[in-house]
Structure 1
């Protein structure tokens, strides 16, 4: 079985917190912002562990100063970190707390819509697609009232992705195409890549492989230009999935191995697991059982260390 990760929804960058982290009283909210921005920059390039230390400092400072905005933002970002490593129950807990703070303190509608989107993404990730669509539709209702084209397109993209995940592939296409059209009009390159990738996944699922491959390759070209290693690895993985589906195993193996190389550098265990499983599957198809077994064993070892299922992606 080939494992594919395709939905990279447009979420804010993330932050982590450890309750017993000590912060000097000399630090100010300006320092918290500096730490936060540094963390965001590291996060952008998939350097989660390095970003984490800056985010921890930022959150503790905001807690000491009782900055509601800072606390809410960090709760949200903790949730997203948990989602990135597959800890969806914890992610949901933090994201809902952040949303409650925003609603109780009359945060701007756009901020509330963002939280609704993030919660929708978690429900999508755990297979609760109806709940995902409920949160996405609540978000798009707010964003239509604000009339922000980028946010509306993001909502459309997310709804389309949820429909595709639920098996309603034909229903997903118009949402994704409309979102991509707006992204192109706004020349929002990272969003264009996301839209291309999600649309490519629909066509891959429908077995229209040539169309899927074209969309994935266009997304990959954009990500290379933006120098986004995590996204590059995802696109390579998805291209490899298409090649596997049409029995072009050598091309698939090349893509999966290139993806794995990047993922090892980024040290994202779940992504490494996915790549190892995919490489193992290709070797199995090629009749190279020993190499396949080696990949599966390494994947299982990492999974046990993380206490997650072997095929979690």
Structure 2
């Protein structure tokens, strides 16, 4: 059902030549595929989303798409590419001053470093996430605390 709705939205944005909507929908479809475990399809859609967002100069959209791309690469086992994607997302969110999304990407980046057995880098990313999310009084700060405590 969700997939059919997203594909319909994609088709309508293409027909209307609404590139912003198309780029956002490409990333939404990529994230959807990642959430149902089809990371290969998620990778394809999120790569297209990154490209289109960059062409449009939409930095918030590009940042979100880089995060999705990092997630897909992580679950496909390409941890180096995942790290690079997460760093691109993080850099954009820092430029934008978006603390919440910086914190979320830092959680993902920490998990990625943990999977690479880069424990100091993982702890550093989770610590940064904790600080940012605590400043926002956001409940996701607990995720960083749990990771730091090995839970």
Structure 1-normalised TM-score? 0.44
Distance in 2 separating the partners of 1:296 and 1:206:
26
Q: Tell me what 1:76 maps to.
A: none
1:267: Cα distance to partner? 0.9
Please point out which of 86, 108, 119 is paired with 1:256. 86
The structure that has the greater radius of gyration is 1
Q: Give 1:198-213 correspondences, 5 Å limit.
A: 198-213=28-43
Cα offsets for 1:173-215 (capped at 9, x unmatched): 1111111111100000000111111122222222222221111
Question: Would you say how many aligned residue pairs link Structure 1 and Structure 2?
Answer: 142
Structure 2-normalised TM-score? 0.89
Q: Tell me what 1:305 maps to.
A: 135
Please point out which of 215, 221, 227 is paired with 2:51. 221
Query: Which protein has the bigger helix share?
Result: 2
Q: Tell me what 1:44 maps to.
A: none
| Partner SS state of residue 138, structure 2 | coil
| Partner SS state of residue 37, structure 2 | coil
Q: Tell me what 1:15 maps to.
A: none
| Partner SS state of residue 95, structure 2 | helix
Q: Tell me what 1:190 maps to.
A: 20
Distance in 2 separating the partners of 1:202 and 1:300:
27
Please point out which of 20, 42, 63 is paired with 1:233. 63
Query: Is 2:106 aligned against 1:276?
Result: yes
Q: What is the root-mean-square deviation in Å for CA atoms of aligned residues?
A: 1.4
Distance in 2 separating the partners of 1:292 and 1:178:
39
| Partner SS state of residue 55, structure 2 | helix
CA contact (8 A) 2:40 2:76 kept: no
| Partner SS state of residue 207, structure 1 | coil
Q: Tell me what 2:149 maps to.
A: none
Structure 1: runs of 5 or more not aligned:
1-170
1:276: Cα distance to partner? 0.9
Distance in 1 separating the partners of 2:135 and 2:88:
24
